[in-house]
Structure 1
Amino acid sequence: MLRRLSSLALCLLAANGLAAQQLPSPATEFQAQRTLLDQHGMLVLGGWALGNVGVSGARYFATEGREKYFHQMNVGWGVVNLALAGTSLWATRRPPAAATDRPTLVRTQLRTENLYLFNAGLDVAYLATGLYLRERAASRPTVRRQQQLRGYGQSLLLQGGFLLAFDGLMFAAHHRHASRSLYPLLSGLQIGPGTVALTLPIR
């Protein structure tokens, strides 16, 4: 009986040690590759934003009516996306924390994937809003207001469509990366709603 209790105590101590241990080198490499994925994604987003600011910024002064409002909205989206991409790229320049345990790494990965899924839901809302504005334009009392709503609606369809494709591809890239490089390292982990636990067999 005493031997069995001693063995159980040793297993519990080992579990606590494993839960707090530093990540092995494959996990460190995984973090570096995840950061590289984020950097590439933000470069794509930043390039799209620069294109919107440059092209639509020039076309805004050369067009009238619906097209003018279309380019106006594109410039606004470009400025916002450029700020987001720049801020994210700056954040990825900072080295990750030196000590990261396994549950923290998994939570960070799931948070990243969920963020892109949440953004994809917002993108669908942008598309729906664009369609609504285009339909709403016909009932406006003035030509100027009709052109404004049509231009803004068309811009929302363009920006929402791009962002939906972008967020979908980023989610797929991060999920595929984790499936290949992270989850095989975590065969002893159980993931549930709001919890990450390490399990070890005692016999």
Structure 2
Amino acid sequence: MTSLRSWLVTASSLLLGTAVSAQRADPPATLRDFSEQRIRHQKTLGYALGGYALANIAVGAIAAGQTTGETKAFHQMNVYWNLVNLGIAGAAALSQRKQSGEGETLAQAVRRHENMKQLLLVNTGLDVAYVMGGLYLRQRGRTNELSGLPGKAAQQQGYGTSIMVQGGFLLAFDLVNYLLFKRRGDRQQEQLLQATDSGIGLVLPIN
């Protein structure tokens, strides 16, 4: 009986030691951390897109006045495209200015995290369409060039190249940020859901 009791005490001590070590190495996420991380990432997205748009508008506006033909059309479209990007970034910044993770329920936080991932995935599909649309416009320009319409051809080819470049940037931008959202947020979300489902306060993530 004494040996059985000693074995149980030893086993319990080992399990407790493992749990404490795991907790110190990788503490479980809290709901507030999960929400705040999403909000910070969303704000960073807006600032990055806005900065990129401003740089393109400045460079494009100067270059368009110093070039001609296809190159001029390329810079013009960069300006037009990034005026839209700047508007999107500005609207996002205004909507997120007062956002806080305080008061969010777990269901709300999970839904908003999943919605953000879905939005970025939808955007990647649109970005591919932009690149293909730019390629099509370039091909139309080449057709017009062969048809003896060099002015129209230069504009279409310049616009097409710009749309391909801008679409390619957005494709990389949205895809990378989707992967970051998934890598950072999904693990925290899993920890929170496991803790809720099991009804305990400590979750030991197993990789």
Structure with the larger helix share? 2
1:160 aligned onto 2:173? no
Residue 46 (structure 1) aligns with: 50
For each residue in 1:49-87, what CA deviation from the matched residue of structure 2 results, as whole angstroms up to 9, or x when unmatched?
011100001011111000111111000111111111121
Shift of 1:98: 4.6
Q: Which amino acid aligns with 1:170?
A: N
Q: Percent identity?
A: 36
Query: How far apart, CA to CA, are the structure 2 residues paired with 1:73 and 1:129?
Result: 14
Q: Which amino acid aligns with 2:49?
A: L
1:109 aligned onto 2:113? yes
| TM-score when normalising by structure 2 | 0.76
Contiguous gaps of at least 5 residues in structure 2? 1-28, 200-207
Q: How many residues align?
A: 168
CA contact (8 A) 2:34 2:109 kept: no
Bigger-Rg structure (1/2) = 2
Query: How far apart, CA to CA, are the structure 2 residues paired with 1:186 and 1:175?
Result: 15
| TM-score when normalising by structure 1 | 0.77
Q: Which amino acid aligns with 1:34?
A: R
Question: Are the structure 2 counterparts of residues 127 and 43 from structure 1 closer, same or farther at C-alpha, using a change threshold of 3 Å?
Answer: same
SS at match of 2:47: helix
Residue 156 of structure 2, aligned match among 137, 146, 149: 149
Matches within 5 A, 1:34-113: 34-96=38-100, 98-113=102-117
Shift of 1:104: 2.0
CA contact (8 A) 2:39 2:100 kept: no
Shift of 1:92: 1.7
Matches within 5 A, 1:117-156: 117-140=121-144, 141=147, 142-156=149-163
Q: Which amino acid aligns with 2:184?
A: H
Contiguous gaps of at least 5 residues in structure 1? 1-24, 190-197
